[in-house]
Amino acid sequence: MFEKMRAIYIIRRTVTVLALLPILSLQLSAQEKTSLWQKFVNAISAPSLELDSEYVYQPAPTWNVAVSADLGHVGNYLTNHLSTVAELDDQVIDVTADATLRLQGGLDKGIGLQVGYGNLSLGYNQKLGVDKTYKNTSFSFDYMAPGYAVQVQYFDFRRPMDYEALIDLGIVTLDDAGQTEYPGRMTSFIVDAFYAFNRRNFAYSAVYKGNVVQRRSAGTLMFGAKYIQGMVSTHPDEFASQLMMGLTNQTTRQISFGGGLSYNLVPYHRQPDENGKGLRNLTFNVTAIPMVTLFNQFITTMENEDENFNPVKTKSVMNGNMLVNYVLKAGAIYTWDRFSVNLSGSYDRYNYRGASDIPAQFDDLEFEKVQSSGWFRRWTASLKFCVRF
């Protein structure tokens, strides 16, 4: 009898263990996944071992959400000079055409949302009070550690453009000025990278990200790199495009490098207690980095019709001149416990200039060369409220 009961007990225990094996395996698998996730999190958000804790306080990485109210202005100016020679009544004459385009823009008001974890964040901004026809949005992705940062931004603006055009045919001059009927479009894809040489006492992210806290004032030399891909376009049916011999799209690609200074000023700091309560901090930052554009490529697109009225699109690539651009930023942040308020402003400007041959047709004239120059500029001011969970 005892042996029979023992056999039944062993069988039941074996069945129970077999039934629990799938659950145990799932738990082990989940632990392995959690471990891999934790390794990834540590790789991108773990506290820096280089920083001096007397200068920079590093809270544990957490999820954070921020909302912002923004003011800004975007401006663009583009000028083109086209020149060729033509034969008229057995005479060779010089033909020139000059045109300028200006993207209209006043003071923009917008709201933004930013979600992040540790050093990472993803943001979206939408302008307020703008007609749907005139789109104005931006996206951003940041990886901002104390000693280095990478910021990716994309802007898309669609607004009316002011234009002026002057065509000199030798014996007659044609000129016109006005505003585009269709909205012009400007897009910018910008990647900024910063590296702080003082990686012991200085945290660039203290003001612009708020994931660490600068306890004492410190500054550093900064290295900066910037990639820009900007585009300005007008509608092919736009009268301004026709005056410019079918020129509808111009794209610039630039790579710039430079160096400058960044400084964090800390007039007030109170360290939290062992439970993380009582943190108080006020920090100001100023950053200035002039840059030299070592790669500057300019792509021009012209849309016309052949003798059979079929659309013909031609592109020309030109290598532009070496230029000087710069990045200017300033900000302040006040932090208490898990909350912070950040006020920051930035000014970006990049120039473009170059010349190339354009095989485009306009009636009996072939415009052989186009010289282009212009600039893009943008300033923004943002008030942001952030909560760390």
- pLDDT recorded at residue 236: 81
Q: What's the chain's average pLDDT?
A: 81
φ, ψ of residue 194 in degrees (nearest 5): -130, 145
76 contacts 186 by C-beta, under 8 angstroms: yes
Give the torsion through C-alpha atoms of 97, 103, 135, 129, to 10 deg: -150
Whether residues 4 and 89 share a domain: the answer is no
8 A C-beta contact, residue 265 and residue 283: yes
**Is 298 within 8 Å of 356 (Cβ atoms)?**
yes
Stretch 144-172: mean pLDDT: 85
Domain region containing 156? 51-388
Residues 133 and 30 in one domain: no
Instruction: Tell which of 45, 65, 81 closes a domain.
Output: 45
Question: Do 320 and 172 share a domain, yes or no?
Answer: yes
Least reliable range by pLDDT among 24-33, 138-147, 318-327, 347-356: 24-33
Q: Total domain count for the chain? A: 2
What's the rounded Cα separation, in Å, for the pair 296 and 232? 16
Same domain, 154 and 38: no
* Whether residue 151 sits in one domain with residue 36: no
Residue 35 has a pLDDT of 66
How far apart are alpha carbons 243 and 349 in whole angstroms? 28
Same domain, 55 and 22: no
- How far, in Å, CA of 205 to CA of 232, rounded? 33
Do residues 58 and 40 share a domain?
A: no
Q: What confidence category does residue 230 fall into, taking pLDDT thresholds of 50, 70 and 90?
A: confident
Query: What's the mean pLDDT in 366-375?
Result: 70
Mean pLDDT, residues 116-142 taken together: 83
Token digits for 338?
């898990």
SS3 41: helix
> What is the predicted pLDDT for the residue at 12?
54
Identify whether residues 323 and 370 lie together within a single domain.
yes
Distance CA 248, CA 237 (A): 9
| 139 in the same domain as 13 | no
- Tell me, yes or no, whether 190 and 122 share the same domain: yes
- Same domain, residue pair 58 and 29: no
Our CA angle for 87, 357, 191, nearest 5°, is: 155
pTM of the model: 0.79
Q: How confident is the model at residue 69 (pLDDT cuts 50, 70, 90)?
A: very high
Q: Are residues 106 and 22 in the same domain?
A: no
